[in-house]
Every structure is written in C-alpha cells, then in structure tokens.
Amino acid sequence: MVAQLDRGPVAGVVLAGGLSRRMGRDKALERLAGPPVVESAENVAGGNDGSMLARIHSLVRSLVPVCFVSCRADTPRQGYDCVFDAVQGVGPTAGLQAALRRAEGMGYTAVLALSCDLPFMDAPTLRKLLAARNEAPATNLVTAYRERHTGRIEALVAVYEVGALPYFDRALVLGQRRLASVIPQELHYFLDYGPEEGEPFFNCNNPEDLALAQARLA
C-alpha cells in the first residue's frame, strides 16, 4: 500500500454523485461481470459487490490509506465514507472541493480522484500517476493523464493537491462546471498516452457502453 508519498500523504475519492441521465438508471450500482478489480484487497467499507462503485473504491483503497465517496446528500452511498457537495448542480467540481476539504482536515496533502464508471481501470495505471506526482514541479497542483493526439485531459483520473482548494472555491462561486478548466494549465503535470493505451480510460455513460464493458469483462 502507498501510505505516504514524497510530497505528502494522498487520500482517495470516487466520484459517484451524478444523475446518470444518459444511462437511465444509477450507473454506480450497475454490476459488472468478471473478477473484482482487486482480488486480494483487504475487506474495506462498502465491500466489493461487483458494482462499478465497489470495484473502483476497492481499487483506490488498495493504493491509498483512505478513500471517500463523493455523492449527493439525498443519495448517500451506504457503507462508504461519504462527502457531500456544498454546492448543488455543478458536477464533479463540487465533489472534488468537498473531498479536498475533508482530506485537508485529516492531514492529507492531495486526493487521488476517479470517476466510478471506469470498468477497465487498473492499479499499474494509478501507480504510475502517483509516481508522476512526485516528479512534478513543486508548484504543480494537478497530475493527470492526457490523450497524446487529441489533448483530452482525463480530469477524473488525476491527483489534485490540497493547495488547489482556492481555485475550486472560486469556480463554485462562478458556477464553473468544466473540471479541466478549474486550475490553470501551467499548474498541471501531464502524463501523455496514446490510443493503444486508452483502455483504462473507457467510461460507461450509457447502456451501450455498459453492454460493451460487460461483454469484454465476461
């Protein structure tokens, strides 16, 4: 387990507060075929019932000492250490602000953030991300993957420093929803990846995505 990194200890958060409009039902609770993401993980809060949320939580919890679940106050995730948005209707920006605030209060210096809907995410991809955080300049506030050819930032597979909180506070005041724009680009440290390395970043937004993931995992 990665208990503490050179730049200070890292907590985790799984973002599971979306409305799942494109899926038509709560995608965090959708169960996937195949073995758990972390077969030998210790028993942790929430267990591993095969749902997308449980799988990603187990994965993150195998790498960092504590993992929160960001969700809406009217839809708490039973069995998990939940953090709730202070501002409603602005997406993962509010969820990350809440997680960073909780992490700061517990003595952590950063948060490893993942969306709950990443069926092919794996430990090596996240270990590489955590290692890159230590290689980044001291002024860096975000360590994230970026698709080499399109420039697409994987804002929901990233490490956010607690020092980024003022940017999140400002974004919420302004009602800013686009997570990748909350923090200036010059304060990001990117790990570029190509199309052949893109499987871990596949996410399930709709029933078609879920069916594809189910078939591949089966």
Express each pLDDT in 10-53 by its tens digit.
999 999 876 555 554 567 767 776 555 554 444 444 456 678 89
Cβ count near 33 (within 10 Å): 12
Cβ count near 84 (within 10 Å): 17
Does 131 fall in a domain?
A: yes
Does 5 fall in a domain?
A: no
Does 45 fall in a domain?
A: yes
Does 3 fall in a domain?
A: no
Position 38 scores a pLDDT of 56
Domain housing 158: 10-217
Considering its fold, how many domains does the chain have in total? Answer: 1
Averaged confidence pLDDT in the chain? 84
Phi-psi region of 177 (alpha: psi -120 to 50; beta: other; left: phi over 0): alpha
pTM above 0.85, yes or no: yes
Does 2 fall in a domain?
A: no
Give me the CATH number covering residue 198: 3.90.550.10
User: CA–CA separation, 115 vs 9, rounded Å?
Assistant: 21
Does 89 fall in a domain?
A: yes
